[in-house]
Amino acid sequence: MPRYVLAYHGGDKPKSPEEGAKNMAEWQAWLGSLGEAVINPGTPLSGTRTVSSDGVEPSSSTMSGFTVVEADSIDAAVEMAQSSPFLKTNGTIDVSEVMELPGSKDS
C-alpha cells in the first residue's frame, strides 16, 4: 500500500499547559482514529539547518514535524490530513506520496 508523508507547517504554540494538554489529547484521539494506517505517528522537528554547496545556514522552513501513513490513494491521505487537529492551530499540512525506489529497505 502506498505511504504518504503529512508534513506540518507553522501552527500556533499552546498558550498554557492546559491548552497543550488539550491539544495533545486531540492529537492522540486523531491518531487513534487512523488505526493501522499510521506508520510513524509524528515526529516534531526543530533546529533546522539548510545545507547547500555554498555552506550551512539556519533554515527558513516552517516545517514543524511529520507523520507517515499508509492509504489507498493521495485523496485518502488528504482526507486523513483534513481531519487533523493540527489545522485548528493555524497550521497547514502538505501531503506527499513516498516514492519507493527499487532496492530500498521497504520495497
> So where are the chain's domains?
3-47+58-97
Mean pLDDT along residues 8-14: 92
Q: Which CATH architecture has domain 3-47+58-97?
A: 2-Layer Sandwich (3.30)
Q: Which residue has the cell 530500498?
A: 104
Residue 59 DSSP label = -
> So what's the pLDDT on residue 103?
79
Q: Which residue has the cell 489507498?
A: 72
> So what's the pLDDT on residue 43?
87
Q: Which of 103, 13, 4, 19 is nearest to 64 (CA)?
A: 13
Q: Indicate the average pLDDT of the chain.
A: 93
> So what's the pLDDT on residue 46?
87
Q: What are phi and psi of 35, to 5 degrees?
A: 60, -135
> So what's the pLDDT on residue 106?
60
pLDDT tens digits for range 56-88: 999 988 899 999 999 999 999 999 999 999 999
What gap in Å lies between CA 87 and CA 84, rounded to an integer? Answer: 6
